Amino acid sequence: MSSDNGLESTDDTNGAPGESQASQAIDSDINEDEIDAKLQEAMQQCAPLMSKFRLEPVDSGKKRKRSKAANTTNTNTTVPSSERTTRAGTRNQRQKQQAEVVPDGNEIEQDSLPSKKKRKLFQRSKVPWADDDDDVENAENAEDEVDVLEKKRKGKGKAKPLDSDDDDKDVEVTAYIYVERPISQPPPRHAASSSTRKPTDEEKYIARGLITFTLHDDYVRFLSLLALQLPCSVRYIQAEKIMWRFQTPANSKYLPLSGEMGYASLIKQLRPRKPQQRILLLAMPPPTKPAVEEPHWPTVDEDLFPTSKFQKPEFDYSALDEPSTNEHVSQQKMTFDKTISAYVNELVERYPVNNYPQYPNMRVYHDVKMNTFFELNDVRLKLWASHMARQTATVDQPPVSHFFDFKMRLKSAPAPPALITTPVQPTPVPVITTTPAPPSDGGTASLVQIMILNMLQQQQQQFQRASLPITPDPTPSQVPASSVPASLVVPTVGAGVRSQPQSPAKLQLPDVSLSAFCDHYGISTRDQERLERLEFQPGDKLDSLDEADWKNFAGFTSLSWQRILEKTRQFLRDVQMGVWV
């Protein structure tokens, strides 16, 4: 019994350890299952917090940031690059097909996310899940740096736009005002050409100051500022004809303002410009003249313009009136004569009349170097005095001009000037009778008497021509037939030949000054100035001049030019008749 009991006890004691080990193994399995379940439950609870990360299985064959390739265990799974490209498609297609997978099984399309989040998720998709969080943070920082650089590059060189109305109140715009004025036809480019040139800005516009306004000002205040500067009433401004352009660039074209819509467009174009580029040029026609007289009380808002109560808005239209050509020339002549009058008096004292006996009744200058003499008429005196005023000539040295050229010298001592008197009836010239010579003396005495008679007749004809220069030579007296034998009559010289005018081809023009020509034929001072502008000398052919020369350049009218042509023809006829010796 004892043995059996001992055996049984032995068996009991030996079996107890086995049973305890089995129970411990079962308990360990149960604990592992519980741990796994708890881990899964914890992961599911943490899934919403990890939704921003991309949960993908780690592929050891991926390349990380184009660095060294990872160690791959299966080399047979490598696909050639051509097949990879064909399978994957383009980059855009791959991005559209990708979806964000979160631990709870939900998918988020990338198209539904902002562009910045797309770039971040795409950057994180390149980073394996098994990597450290530092790599993800570095990728995010790199992406942020790229965004900052792109913003700097896009914003470089551009003015900061104005967003609020408060900024518009501080932005000032400067506008220069130019009022158009009526101008006549501009002169040609030169005397020989009929083509005209474009008027300059100084000829076309008159400056009326400037105004400054802000981008916050409306169209009504803009017109009020214009009215105050012109000055005039707002209702007289021709607002629909106002033109504007920017000062820079200089070749910009004028654009119409045309009311409130155009003003709003102008403000819109001024916003993005830099402060130094907010300068305008305004071109506008003059204000319309009021039909009735303006009231004496102010008509402008006194709150906006306090100075309007002390002044009457009235535009100065006289500044736009261009003086006529005749008034302009006469004013210039008066100013010119006033400037050089002192120098003319000095020349008159230095070179008096009759200073050289061989040239009576003339004021003469003697050039010692060329040994020539020049008549100091009004034209030469004024020319010399003008050069003295500019300090380009002295009292003893005339200026360099064609009026003092060798060709303009006095060629010979002039004859005494002919007295122009009222024509009177010529007294009959007595016929000189001679007693016939006796026939016994022969033909010698009769021939001498005939020669003496012809000489007396020639002297009488010259005396009559000097006293009556316009009338033709009278017919010479005929010798009585009874006093001279028919066989001894000698043809007289001069009467039949001298009375005929010279041929124009052989006509020798005398040296006649322009002032003497104008005085003799009664040409006005204004026409004389026009002839001086053409540099006319008596005897020049005026028929060959173009209309651009005598009309546009010199300023002659059609009637005055016809009178000048008739005077020149009369001058040529008088030279042929011997009036100008």
With contact defined as beta carbons under 8 Å apart, do 470 and 423 qualify?
yes
Residue 547 banded pLDDT, cuts 50, 70, 90 = confident
Instruction: Give the Cα separation of 55 and 101 in Å (integer).
Output: 6
Residue 279 has pLDDT above 60, yes or no: yes
Q: Is the predicted pLDDT of residue 273 greater than 80, yes or no?
A: yes
Backbone angles phi and psi of 179, in degrees to 5: -105, 130
d(C-alpha 11, C-alpha 228), whole Å: 128
The Cα-based distances of 567 to 291, 542, 562 in angstroms read: 50, 11, 9
Residue 67 is predicted with a pLDDT of: 45
Angle at 538 between CA 536 and CA 543, to 5 degrees: 70
Q: What is the CA radius of gyration of the chain?
A: 58
The CA angle 19-20-23, to the nearest 5 degrees, is: 85
Give backbone dihedrals phi and psi of 29, rounded to 5 degrees, phi first: -65, -40
Query: Which pair of structure tokens corresponds to residue 428?
Result: 């009959």
**DSSP 8-class letter at 196:** B
* pLDDT score recorded for residue 287: 92
pLDDT tens for each residue of 62-78? 445 454 444 444 444 55
Compute the average pLDDT of residues 213-238: 91
Give yes or no for a contact between 99 and 107, defined as CB atoms under 8 angstroms apart.
yes
Q: How confident is the model at residue 505 (pLDDT cuts 50, 70, 90)?
A: very low
pLDDT score at 571: 87
| Residue among 205, 350, 363, 349 nearest 284 (CA) | 205
Q: Which long-range contacts (CB under 8 A, 24 or more apart) does 500-503 make?
A: 501/573, 501/576, 501/577, 502/576
Q: Which two tokens stand for residue 113?
A: 């996310």
Give the pLDDT of residue 244.
95
**Cα gap 511→542, rounded to integer Å:** 17
DSSP letter, residue 244: E
Mean pLDDT for the stretch of residues 535-550: 83
Give the pLDDT confidence score for residue 166 in this predicted structure.
54
Q: Helix H segments across 319-423?
A: 325-350, 378-389
pLDDT digits (tens, 9 = 90+) for 336-370: 778 888 899 999 998 998 888 888 888 999 888 88
Q: What is the pLDDT, as a whole number, of residue 581?
A: 66
Token pair belonging to 22: 């089995």
Distance CA 577, CA 472 (A): 8
Q: How far apart are CA 231 and CA 311, in angstroms?
A: 10
pTM metric for this prediction? 0.33
Per-residue model confidence as pLDDT tens digits over 104-157 = 444 444 444 455 555 555 455 444 444 455 555 555 565 666 566 666 665 555
Confirm if 289 and 216 have CB atoms less than 8 A apart: no
Residue with the larger pLDDT of the pair 294 and 72: 294
More confident residue, 372 or 462: 372
| SS3 state of residue 393 | coil
Least confident range from 103-107, 253-257, 525-529: namely 103-107
Output the average pLDDT for the chain.
69
- What value does the mean pLDDT take over residues 525-544? 85
Length of the chain as a residue count: 581
3-state SS assignment for residue 457: helix
